[in-house]
Amino acid sequence: MYFYTCFLGYANSFDSPIKLNLLNLNIHYYLEMTGQIPDSFLYEGEVYSLIGIEEEEPFSPLDYDIMPEMASTACWRGFVLYYKLDNNYLILQDMQLNTQEAKKINGIKPKKTEDMFKFHYQDLNLKLDYSSKLLIACDFIDEMYVHMGFQRAISFRKVVELDFKRGELLSVNDLSEEMEKRRNKDSAQGGRPKTKKDKDVKEWIRDTFSRKYDNEGK
């Protein structure tokens, strides 16, 4: 149970109150992990995956004193978020959440469900005061799927960077061509550990669960 507890909450936020304890990770757990369910982002009428976060997360259940629990090996953090833009402002629309005790968010009480997530928040319409950049992507290349963590930016044909200030979208940067160049140069980049040594495997697992990226993309 200790291992599963380590994966509660944000796996990509290593300085958060809930930490991904990879230092104590045994390699045989590698076989128990899988690709993670990404957050979704509705942008210009199309559903994208949220694959990169420059700084802090736009939203966390912890902000509302809600403690998420692992939903499945495909969702160690225990929740999935659904974002959209409304008049160029960042909005949290829905959230699927696995927890023992859910609370109202923005006046909305979640519905209980019978699937892997115990609760579903619908029509939250929560305006987020967010200042940073997000990387969203669509048109995933199936043969580039990695059976671990969140998928790489180069694994998508369309990649877009959104820059926000106080929740308002300031600029959009299409990184699709840049990702295609990286893909053509080395499509295996980040798709496997450097070696089979414990240190390299742990580092690779940590990286696949982290969605942090720099200004040039993940």
User: Tokens standing for 141?
Assistant: 């290349």
Instruction: Look up the domain containing 145 and give its range.
Output: 2-209
User: Which residues are CB-contacts of 167 (< 8 A; sequence separation ≥ 6)?
Assistant: 89, 90, 127, 128, 129, 130, 131
Residue 217 located in a structural domain: no
Residue 41 located in a structural domain: yes
Residue 94 located in a structural domain: yes
Q: What is the pLDDT of residue 192?
A: 80
Residue 70 located in a structural domain: yes
* Spatial distance between the Cα atoms of 121 and 108, rounded to a whole number of angstroms: 7
| pLDDT string in tens for the chain (218-residue length) | 323 333 333 344 433 433 444 334 444 444 456 889 999 999 999 999 999 999 889 999 999 999 999 998 899 999 999 999 999 999 999 999 999 999 999 999 999 998 899 999 999 999 999 999 999 999 999 998 888 889 999 999 999 999 999 999 999 999 999 999 999 998 777 778 888 888 888 888 888 888 887 644 44
Residue 179 located in a structural domain: yes
Residue 216 located in a structural domain: no
Residue that the structure tokens 């990695």 belong to? 146
pTM over 0.85: no
Residue 215 located in a structural domain: no
Residue 194 located in a structural domain: yes
Q: Select from 196, 160, 198 the least CA-distant residue to 178.
A: 160
- How many structural domains is the chain composed of? 1
Q: Is 127 helix (H, G, I), strand (E, B) or coil?
A: strand
Contact 53, 211 (CB under 8 A): yes
